[in-house]
């Protein structure tokens, strides 16, 4: 084996690779803004909570889609599994403590993800797409059929969720507790995902996305990695669903539907997938736009959304963050020669 040249560790490429995972100076900004929102807009905390939950859900999708490259249309299956876990446990008076309830929701969703991932991830392409779609549709039908437990089409409402730490009430009309609770859970999950994608495990996921054949050839346990990634992503999506059910005190079939799965996909792509913060940008942009437009001009909103998707797919494959990065690079390359 040849020895690397002395001083190799000081090479810019080596430094860049070794420092990839370190927090950047700007990374606290989103969290400070989220906290500031709590104090500045106390009247809009319901909307803020919805945005935070959406970010969490989009991050779960980013893990499978952006990093492992699994194109799924059925991510809402796990969101719904988590939401119904919380909903059914609370409604039937079995368990209503929020934090343990949330962990249970994540575990149930992870179990669904593990079970389906184990069989689905043997396939690729259109077949995989169809299988994720059918799995979600199957769960939706099951929830519709078992209306004695799930409330069927009407869902379950006025869930009796216990106060957080036994002290802080969840008030659906004035969701102060919910906002901070969701923010804390989002932060924990984000730190986990961030650590994961920069770990060797995360690197191997990127390798699988870029060239699955080569990863097989170098001896990486491709399927095991994919199933593990799918399971973790399902757990996070389940937590997002569970926390959504706790914050709103209801669940319905919409948590399992194609609408929700397609929306989160759009959000992630709008922000830019495979880059962690795309979920934040996409969720905020989409939710703000839909908040103001979709109620006033629902049809024009759908038309504009469709147009946006077509444009993104054709011209801006990396979303808003991708455009911003390209602009930054151009700006720097203009300045560099001087």
Which residues form the interface with another protein (CB under 8 A)?
A: 65, 71, 73, 119-120, 122-123, 125-127, 129-131, 133-135, 137-138, 141-142, 145, 258, 262, 265-266, 269, 299-300, 302-303, 305-314, 317
Residue closer to another protein, measured from CB, 100 or 123: 123
CB of 170 to another protein, least distance (A): 33
CB of 130 to another protein, least distance (A): 5
CB of 126 to another protein, least distance (A): 6
CB of 142 to another protein, least distance (A): 6
Residue closer to another protein, measured from CB, 26 or 315: 315
DSSP string, 98-139: HHHHHHHHHHHHHHHHHHHHHHHTT--HHHHHHHHHHHHHHH
Taking CA atoms, 211 is separated from 13, 68, 206, 207, in Å, by 22, 11, 9, 6
Length of the chain in terms of residues written = 338
Task: Give the pair of three-digit tokens for residue 15.
Answer: 């430094």
Residues 6+ apart with CB under 8 A from 80: 136, 139, 140, 143, 241, 251, 255, 256, 260
CB of 51 to another protein, least distance (A): 22
Residue closer to another protein, measured from CB, 109 or 136: 136
Residue labelled with tokens 């999506």: 237
Residue closer to another protein, measured from CB, 141 or 157: 141
Residue closer to another protein, measured from CB, 73 or 245: 73
Measured in degrees and rounded to the nearest 5, phi and psi for residue 48 equal: -60, -40
């Amino acid at each position: 084996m040849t020895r690397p040249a002395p001083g190799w560790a000081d090479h810019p490429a080596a430094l860049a690779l070794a420092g990839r995972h370190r927090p950047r100076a700007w990374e606290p900004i989103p969290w400070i803004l989220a906290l500031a929102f709590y104090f500045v807009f106390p009247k809009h905390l319901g909307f803020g909570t919805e945005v935070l939950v959406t970010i969490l859900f989009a991050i779960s999708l980013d893990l499978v889609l952006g990093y492992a490259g699994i194109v799924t249309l059925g991510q809402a299956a796990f969101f719904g599994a988590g939401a119904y876990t919380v909903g059914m446990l609370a409604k039937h008076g079995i368990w209503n403590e929020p934090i343990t309830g949330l962990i249970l929701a994540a575990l149930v969703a992870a179990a669904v993800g593990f079970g389906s991932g184990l069989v689905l991830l043997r396939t690729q392409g259109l077949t995989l797409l169809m299988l994720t779609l059918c799995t979600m549709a199957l769960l939706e039908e099951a929830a519709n059929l078992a209306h004695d437990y799930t409330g069927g089409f009407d869902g379950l409402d006025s869930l009796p969720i216990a106060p957080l730490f036994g002290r802080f009430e969840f008030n659906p009309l004035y969701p102060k507790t919910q906002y901070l609770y969701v923010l804390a859970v989002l932060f924990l999950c984000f730190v986990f995902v961030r650590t994961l994608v920069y770990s060797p495990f995360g690197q191997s996921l990127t390798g699988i996305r870029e060239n699955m054949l080569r990863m097989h050839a170098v001896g990486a346990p491709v399927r095991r990695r994919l199933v593990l990634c799918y399971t973790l992503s399902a757990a996070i999506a389940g937590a997002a669903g569970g926390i959504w059910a706790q914050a709103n005190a209801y669940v319905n079939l919409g948590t399992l539907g194609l609408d929700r799965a397609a929306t989160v996909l759009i959000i992630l792509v709008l922000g830019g997938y495979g880059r962690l913060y795309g979920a934040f940008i996409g969720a905020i942009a989409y939710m703000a736009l839909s908040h103001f437009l979709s109620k006033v001009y629902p049809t024009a909103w759908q038309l504009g959304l469709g147009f946006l998707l077509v444009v993104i797919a054709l011209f801006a494959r990396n979303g808003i963050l991708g455009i911003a990065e390209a602009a930054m690079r151009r700006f720097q390359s203009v300045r560099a020669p001087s």
